[in-house]
Amino acid sequence: MLTIDLLIDAKWILPIAPKNTVLENHSLAVHEGKIVDLLPANEAKEKYYADQFLDMNTHALMPGMVNSHTHTPMNLFRGLADDLDLMDWLTHHIWPAEGKIINPESTALGAKLAFAEMIRGGTTCFNDHYFFPDVIAKAAKEIGIRGRIGLLIMNCPTLWAKDEAQGIKACEKILETNDDFSLTEWAVAVHATYTASDHGLATAKRLSDEYNLPVHMHVHETSAELDIEKKRSGQRPLERIDHAGLLNEKFIAVHMVHLNDEDLSRVKNSGCHIILCPDSNLKLASGIPPIGKLLEITKNIAIGTDGAASNNDLDMFHEMRLAAILGKTTAGDPKRVPASRALEMATLGGAKALHLDHTIGSLEIGKSADMIAIDLDHLFTTPNFNPLSQLVYSANRLQVSDVWVAGRQLLKNFEFTRIDVQKLMMEAKPWIEQARQFSHHPTST
């Protein structure tokens, strides 16, 4: 018999690859942080001796969710200002609040709150876009969550950098320092075309080429964004991005709500990755991405929550459900984005967009043991005719019972193993009080 670290018998195993597969009476074997086998349960018992054996006889085991667009420290601003349009929300509430309280200490705290929320809800990997990326990487290492963290290029004065040039210098310094963050990798994060100079876009291209990094950017989120770019450069944002040489298979385009035929043709020719954040788009009334058309032309679509300030949660189950339902609606076809496709977008699709699919996104031999168990023996998911359908259309994130990243268990039988959430919430209170002066809650329309 072979000795391994962990053997899990699960009622259902959804490996995501191969597509649309639900295995029953199977076991998953993990050793030294990696998946080493996936086989019928009766064979596993004869083949392996495991230091830890888990019998999850009411659970579905699947890869961890990949939240493909986050602003993790913005968990400090959840519900700060609601019911506003994007530009008003950003310029009169979020940016002033960030100017007042975002520093390395508050950034680390906000990020850790987000990591705890994501782990509790079954997310094992995130794609972040915020100030102080090195601080976020250190916080992620402390918590043990996987991620790709954006090095921010933005032409606005912030506490992270007084202007774009200083921000670029800080990004270059982080890349040159090359600290060991085994679970996180870098991306170039350009906020949007309306906050990027031509030099900023050219620098993003240079850093992406030099360090082989994906470029993560908000694109065509609102109609106002298109108007600003039209006045400034006479171009559509995607056109300007294309002319800067950024629109290729390394480009991660977030939102993509307002697209004409010319934009869609650029997407098709580039092989870029699309990240849908439907909850944020709907709440800010930015619009609905043409998911039906995007499904026909894009190489890969993934899902993100956006920050807790605009969503107002980091619930990938909710986001996945919305993406599936809007996909059907925009295609005019309820057969589009079936449950298996939605689950793939939230896991392997995210891994592909983040260029991490060699390591995560599916339960395949050789990949990292980044996985979650969901207890489906619950009122919310009864009866259970099909676990795939239950996971996408009915399950609540609080049904996630166990979470592992690289084989290390971060949530065990609904309890955190490494995070003191009450302590984090207490430590956040002074920062939240300072942010309160920027809050906004209209009482009537």
**Where on the chain is the footprint of Zn ion (CB under 5 A)?**
306
**Spatial contact of 91 and 45, defined as CB atoms under 8 Å apart:** no
Burial 419-435 (b: 16+ CB within 10 A, else e): beeeebeebbeebbeeb
Task: State in angstroms the smallest separation of the CB of 357 from Zn ion.
Answer: 22
Task: State in angstroms the smallest separation of the CB of 306 from Zn ion.
Answer: 5
Count of positions (residues) in the chain? 445
CB nearer to Zn ion: pick between 188 and 406: 188
CB nearer to Zn ion: pick between 242 and 306: 306
Task: State in angstroms the smallest separation of the CB of 281 from Zn ion.
Answer: 10
* Backbone angle region of 287, left / alpha / beta, with phi > 0 → left and psi within -120 to 50 → alpha: left
Task: State in angstroms the smallest separation of the CB of 192 from Zn ion.
Answer: 9
CB nearer to Zn ion: pick between 89 and 317: 89
CB nearer to Zn ion: pick between 16 and 94: 94
Task: State in angstroms the smallest separation of the CB of 426 from Zn ion.
Answer: 28
CB nearer to Zn ion: pick between 303 and 410: 303
Task: State in angstroms the smallest separation of the CB of 141 from Zn ion.
Answer: 23
Task: State in angstroms the smallest separation of the CB of 168 from Zn ion.
Answer: 20
Rounded (5°) CA angle 88-93-95: 100
CB nearer to Zn ion: pick between 9 and 306: 306
Task: State in angstroms the smallest separation of the CB of 222 from Zn ion.
Answer: 12
Residue nearest to Zn ion (CB): 306
Task: State in angstroms the smallest separation of the CB of 59 from Zn ion.
Answer: 33
**Spatial contact of 389 and 379, defined as CB atoms under 8 Å apart:** no
Q: How far is CA 320 from CA 144, 195, 278, 345, 395, in A?
A: 24, 29, 9, 8, 11
CA distance 373 to 46: 24
CB nearer to Zn ion: pick between 98 and 375: 98
CB nearer to Zn ion: pick between 67 and 409: 67
Residue 335 burial by Cβ neighbours in a 10 Å radius (0-12, 13-18, 19+):
exposed
CB nearer to Zn ion: pick between 306 and 375: 306
